Structure formats: C-alpha cells, structure tokens
C-alpha cells in the first residue's frame, strides 16, 4: 500500500518557485545570475503600514484572531469593495486568509466534488490547476492567443462550459501575461455566464491596482450585478502594498460560501496572523498615494523591457495592460541551435539555455499552459532589467 496520497500524483511542483530556487543556487555557487522569475515587488512595505503592525504588537494584539478575520479588517475590506469597485458587501460576506492561495484552496475545497470542472484560461498562474487537482476537481483549459491579447473570448468560454462546470476562474490583470479585461470584454463574458446559471465565477483581482496608461480596472460582479450572487471576488495586499511576506489575502461573496470557507479554514490554519491583519487594516484605510508612484515606476520598467525584447532576434513581446510581467513569444527561435549545437526545441530548452549561457533566469511558458513563450517579472530595478534584456539580445543573436 502506497504511503503518500494519490492526489500528489496529480500535482506538479511550482515552476516559478523552481526557477527562483535555481537562480539562488547558481548565485550561491558564484555565478552572475539575474533572476526574473519571482512575482514580488521590489519596493519596501510603506512605513505607515509597518508602524501599524508595531503599534498592534505594543497594544498586545497577539492572541488568536477570529477564523474569518478581525472585525476592523473585515470592515475595511467591505469599505474597499464599495469605494473602489462599487460592490456592496457586509463584513460577514468577507473572509481573510493566509494569502490569496488559501482563499482559492478554501473555495475549491468547499465546492468541488470529483468530476466538477473549473474553466481556466491559458496562460494561467501555475498554481491554479494544481489547486483544482488537489481538491478533486478537473481543470478545463480555455484557449487564448497572443493575437487576442491572451484574453478569454465569449466564444471560447461558451465552448468550454459543460453541465459539469462549477467555476470560471478569472485573473485580471493576469499572471503571467499581464493582460487585463476591459469593461466591454467582461460584459461579453458576463452575457455568456448569464445563460449558464450553474456556473460561478472566482475572480482573482490581486493585481487590480497595477494597470497602466488610461486603462480602467473593472471586476465582473461590478460590470454585471446579476452575477453578484454567484461570484467570489478575491484580492489581497501583497502586490499593490508590497506586503508579500505578510501573507494576507481576502475575498467577498455569498454568505453561504463564506461560511463554508470559514469552516474549512477553522480546521486547517485558523485565522491569519493577527499582526499582519492589523497592518492590512492600515493598508486599506490609510494613504494610497504611493500606489500611483509605484505604478509609474512599473510602467517605465514595462516599456523598457517590451522595447528591448522586441529588438531581440526571434522574440515578439506584446505590451501588457497590467501586473508586472511580460509574456513574450520565442516562436521565432524554435529549431535554431546554440553555439554548442543544442537545438531550441521548445520554450523549456530556450529558458534553460538562456540561463546556462547568459545567467538570466526566466520561466518557460509551458509551465503556464501556453508556449512557446516565457515569463519575465519586471519587478526589479531598471539597471538589472536593461542588463538582462541586453543578455537576452546577445543570446538570441548567437543562435544559428
């Protein structure tokens, strides 16, 4: 009898974590490596947020919190959804968890039975299908392309829905592509969902505040109020507030679902770190002006990376609407050879040879379900990004 659970055979390790670890190991071995694999802002958490955590410690806010979150944070979350998304949620319709990942796990664990299907547009964040698999569901991948900006169309959504569909999992702006859906694009998807009342929507809005130019962010329950009662709207403080290590995600939705997620979390981890929750209260209620300043820096980095990658031989890189990733195609290099004779057969070989030759760590597109592409996180300094892109240009030029 096997000791480990059968579920593990359905799950792959995280490719983004693997790339980050590989880059770290090479650096420790003395290699000059630029790691562009991690999805983490390089900004520090703002001082007012850090001070709120320190004040909470000094006040003795160090006991077990309620499973669903401390009342001031749930109230702040409800205000945030009203203020920024025109969504009316009561505090009891919200839940706080140890990061966005736990929100997703809780929702899937609370709702999925064997055979239930979750529609996931490609390319997708590497953890989505693995979470679905662990929770006993089946991922159904809906195709997108570089030609339509890596966005799910109404036609592709309609094609993917079956009587077994339980969830549509949306992510806008997207990890890995940076694609963000306009109000009109969400309206088209909503029109399809209205025809299929058994399908719920889980929308991962973690990168909501990181959109560029004149793009206006919308979330699907805001665009179509008729979907409100079958939508779980997820967000968190990690990206916009540079609070990745604080591990706070949150969501709002129908009370019945929130109670089910609360029950699972109560038997799993209980409440998220109390100190981090008090810091998050300040994040949501406090000054927001630094977000615009950080966005301007991210946009400049995006423009630099897109420009330099499009100057690299065989690379085509669209300019994304949001997040801090680009998802260029390396299709123009497939079949070419390195100076040592290795054939670039796919994006996995491309990223491996790039790391070996030039010390630039990026993530292969096949890890996100769509190749031949690769993901670059531009959440690092312009100096490092310029050097990394120069190395990529040199590597692509060396292929024969």
pLDDT tens digit sequence for 376-397: 999 999 999 999 999 999 999 9
User: Rounded mean pLDDT of 45-64?
Assistant: 98
User: Rounded mean pLDDT of 134-150?
Assistant: 96
Neighbours of 267 (CB within 10 A): 8
Residue listed under structure tokens 């670039």? 344
Residues forming a β-bridge with 343: 337
CB 106 within 8 A of CB 95: yes
| Spatial distance between the Cα atoms of 373 and 315, rounded to a whole number of angstroms | 9
Q: Check pLDDT > 90 for residue 242.
A: yes
Q: Check pLDDT > 90 for residue 13.
A: no
| Spatial distance between the Cα atoms of 359 and 350, rounded to a whole number of angstroms | 12
| Spatial distance between the Cα atoms of 149 and 14, rounded to a whole number of angstroms | 24
Confidence of residue 252 (pLDDT cuts 50, 70, 90): very high
Residues forming a β-bridge with 360: 34
What is the pLDDT at residue 111? Answer: 98
Q: Kindly state the tokens that stand for 169.
A: 């999992």
User: Rounded mean pLDDT of 202-223?
Assistant: 98
Residues forming a β-bridge with 95: 251
| Spatial distance between the Cα atoms of 175 and 14, rounded to a whole number of angstroms | 14
Q: Check pLDDT > 80 for residue 276.
A: yes
Return mean pLDDT, the chain: 96
Considering only 26-40, 188-202, 204-218, 328-342, which range has the smallest mean pLDDT?
26-40
Q: Check pLDDT > 80 for residue 57.
A: yes
| Spatial distance between the Cα atoms of 165 and 141, rounded to a whole number of angstroms | 12
Q: Is 58 exposed, middle or buried (0-12, 13-18, 19+ CB in 10 A)?
A: exposed
Q: Check pLDDT > 90 for residue 19.
A: no
| Spatial distance between the Cα atoms of 127 and 139, rounded to a whole number of angstroms | 12
Q: Check pLDDT > 90 for residue 110.
A: yes
Q: Check pLDDT > 80 for residue 15.
A: no
Query: Looking at the domain covering 48-285, what would its CATH class be?
Result: alpha beta
Kindly state the DSSP code that residue 322 receives in the 8-state scheme: B
Domain locations along the chain? 6-44+290-398, 48-285
- Give Cα separations from 48 to 72, 76, 188, 282 (angstroms): 17, 16, 41, 7
Confidence of residue 192 (pLDDT cuts 50, 70, 90): very high
Confidence of residue 338 (pLDDT cuts 50, 70, 90): very high
Kindly state the DSSP code that residue 329 receives in the 8-state scheme: B
Confidence of residue 128 (pLDDT cuts 50, 70, 90): very high
| Spatial distance between the Cα atoms of 221 and 190, rounded to a whole number of angstroms | 9
- Give Cα separations from 343 to 339, 370, 389 (angstroms): 10, 20, 22
Shared fold status for 6-44+290-398 and 48-285: no
3-state secondary structure 251-317: EECCHHHHHHHHHHHHHHCCCCCHHHHHHHHHHHHCCCHHHHHHHHHHHHHHHHHHHHHHCCCCCEC
Residues forming a β-bridge with 34: 360
What is the pLDDT at residue 165? Answer: 98
CB 195 within 8 A of CB 165: no
CB 364 within 8 A of CB 17: no
- Give Cα separations from 1 to 8, 9, 134, 136 (angstroms): 15, 15, 20, 21
Residues forming a β-bridge with 139: 118
Report phi then psi at 249, rounded to 5: -120, 160
Q: Check pLDDT > 90 for residue 364.
A: yes
CB 273 within 8 A of CB 246: yes
Number of H helices, E strands in the chain: 13, 12
Q: 158, 111, 100, 108: which is closest to 133 by C-alpha?
A: 108
User: Rounded mean pLDDT of 115-137?
Assistant: 96
pTM of the model: 0.95
CA atoms within 13 A on the CB side of 257: 26
Q: Is 287 exposed, middle or buried (0-12, 13-18, 19+ CB in 10 A)?
A: exposed
CB 377 within 8 A of CB 38: yes
Architecture of domain 6-44+290-398: Alpha-Beta Complex (3.90)
What is the pLDDT at residue 129? Answer: 96
Considering only 16-30, 104-118, 145-159, 277-291, which range has the smallest mean pLDDT?
16-30
Of all residues in the chain, the percent with pLDDT exceeding 90 is 91
| Spatial distance between the Cα atoms of 371 and 38, rounded to a whole number of angstroms | 19
Taking the CA atoms of residue 45, residue 49, residue 52 and residue 58 in that order, the dihedral angle to the nearest 10 degrees is: 0
Of all residues in the chain, the percent with pLDDT exceeding 70 is 100
Order of strands across the sheet with 325-326? 325-326, 374-377, 363-364
């Amino acid at each position: 009898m096997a000791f480990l659970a059968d579920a593990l055979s359905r799950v792959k390790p995280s490719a983004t974590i693997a790339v980050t670890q590989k880059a770290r190991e090479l650096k420790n071995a003395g290699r000059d490596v630029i790691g562009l694999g991690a999805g983490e802002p390089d900004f520090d958490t703002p001082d007012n947020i850090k001070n709120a955590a320190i004040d909470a410690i000094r006040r003795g806010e160090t006991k077990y919190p309620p499973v669903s979150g401390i009342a001031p944070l749930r109230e702040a979350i409800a205000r945030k959804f009203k203020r920024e998304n025109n969504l009316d949620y009561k505090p009891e319709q919200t839940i706080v968890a140890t990061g966005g990942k736990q929100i997703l796990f809780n929702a899937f664990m609370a709702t999925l039975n064997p055979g239930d299907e979750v529609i996931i547009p490609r390319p997708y964040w590497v953890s989505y299908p693995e979470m679905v698999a662990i929770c006993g569901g089946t991922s159904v991948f809906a195709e997108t392309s570089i030609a339509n900006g890596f966005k799910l169309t109404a036609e592709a959504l309609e094609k993917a829905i079956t009587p077994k569909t339980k969830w549509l999992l949306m992510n806008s702006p997207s990890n890995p592509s940076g694609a963000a859906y306009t109000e009109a694009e969400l309206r088209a998807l909503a029109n399809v969902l209205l025809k299929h009342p058994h399908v719920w929507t889980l929308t991962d809005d973690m990168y909501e505040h990181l959109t560029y130019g004149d793009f206006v962010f919308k979330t699907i329950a805001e665009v179509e109020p008729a979907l409100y009662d079958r939508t779980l709207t997820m967000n968190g403080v990690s990206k916009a507030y540079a609070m990745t290590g604080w591990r706070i995600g949150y969501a709002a939705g129908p009370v019945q679902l929130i109670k089910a997620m609360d029950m699972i979390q109560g038997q799993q981890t209980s409440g998220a770190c109390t100190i981090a929750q008090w810091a998050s209260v300040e994040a949501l209620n406090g000054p927001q002006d630094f977000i615009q300043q950080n966005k301007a820096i991210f946009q400049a980095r995006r423009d630099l990376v897109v420009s330099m990658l499009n100057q690299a031989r065989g690379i085509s890189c669209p300019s994304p609407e949001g997040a801090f990733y680009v998802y260029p195609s390396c299709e123009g290099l497939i079949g070419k050879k390195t100076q040592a004779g290795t054939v670039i057969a796919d994006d996995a070989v491309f990223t491996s040879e790039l790391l070996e030759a030039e010390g630039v760590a990026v993530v292969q597109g096949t890890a996100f379900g769509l190749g031949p592409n690769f993901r670059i996180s531009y959440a690092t300094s312009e100096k490092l990004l310029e050097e990394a892109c120069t190395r990529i240009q040199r590597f692509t030029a060396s292929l024969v």
